[in-house]
Copies of this chain bind each other. A is one copy, B any other.
Amino acid sequence: MTIGKNCIIAESVTLPEDIIIGNNVRIQDNVAIGARTKIQDGTFLCSGSQIGAGSYLDFGVIVRENVILGENAFVGAHCILGEYLMDFIEARDIQHHQTVIGNNAIIRSETIIYGENVIGDNFQTGHRVTIREKSHIGQNVRIGTLSDIQGDCQIGNYISIHSNAHIGMKSVIKDYAWIYPYVVLTNDPNPPSDQILGVTVEEFAIVATGSVVLPGRVIGRDSLVGAGAVVSKDVPEGKVVVGNPGRELGDTANVKNRSTGEDVYPWRYHFDRGMPWKGIGYDEWRKNL
């Protein structure tokens, strides 16, 4: 056990034998920490938080009350996990909002994840990601630098949301979808109103850089929304939509790789990095499910 200077650790907390703790670390009561954990200077673990074995918490992390972090997590400097909801701001007192993050998370520096989220294994964020409350995020999801998940969203598995995307409240993003930088999924059909109509992005769909999807629209399975498109109608399965206002340009099946002339879509037959069919091929993997 290695503990730095000026730490304030509640006496009730049982630390694992092999823990390494830096300076100025504060650990409140009722905190559980797994073996082989390393906690850097200035990090604060609030009451009721749990840190899985083998985790690394960098400088100045705030883990608020009732955050359950899985094993082998990496949490970058200045992150805030379990950020307070509006009820805390009003009451100035802890409200119970558990957030659960699965195993093997990589949460890069300055990311903020609210209380009352459920996030699966192998979660990755870039820097300064914001995830508001009441979202469900599946397994193997990656969310890029500056992206903002506004809360009450359903995000499936094996999804990539790149940098600086804005996922409006009540969005639904299904497995294997791709959201590229500066995409906005909106939700207010008559701004300003109290109605919230989330966007749905179906499986394998691709929403390219800088496109805006209007409230309640459905981006069909295997479809492609081109860069800078403003999507005002549903996009049918396997179609390409481009422009402002968005218009159908044809089938993704006709899109060719400019260098090789080969088909690009469905992309699951041409790309497997980070996918469950990696090294096997999509069809072979499906057969064995």
Report A's interface with B, CB cutoff 8 A.
Answer: 4-6, 8, 23-24, 26, 38, 41-42, 44, 56, 59-60, 62, 74, 76-78, 80, 83-84, 89, 92, 106, 109-110, 112, 126-128, 130, 145-146, 148, 150, 160, 163-164, 166, 178, 180-182, 184, 186, 189-195, 206, 208-210, 212, 214, 226-228, 230, 242-245, 255, 257-259, 264, 267, 270-271, 273
Q: Given contacts A109-B80, A146-B146, are A160 and B192 in contact (CB under 8 A)?
A: yes
**Pair B273/A194 contact, Cβ less than 8 Å:** yes
**Pair A184/B209 contact, Cβ less than 8 Å:** yes
Q: Given contacts A26-B41, A148-B145, A190-B264, are A228 and B206 in contact (CB under 8 A)?
A: no
Copies in the complex: 3
Chain A contact residues, majority secondary structure: loop
Q: Given contacts A44-B41, A164-B166, are A244 and B228 in contact (CB under 8 A)?
A: yes
| Interchain nearest-CB distance for A163 vs B (Å) | 6
Of the residues B42, B182, B189, B243, contact of A245 by C-beta under 8 Å = B243
**Pair A271/B56 contact, Cβ less than 8 Å:** no
CA of A264 to CA of B190 in the docked complex: distance in angstroms? 7
- Nearest CB in chain B to that of A191: its residue: B206
* A209 partner residues in chain B, CB cutoff 8 A: 184, 186, 212
* A184 partner residues in chain B, CB cutoff 8 A: 181-182, 209-210
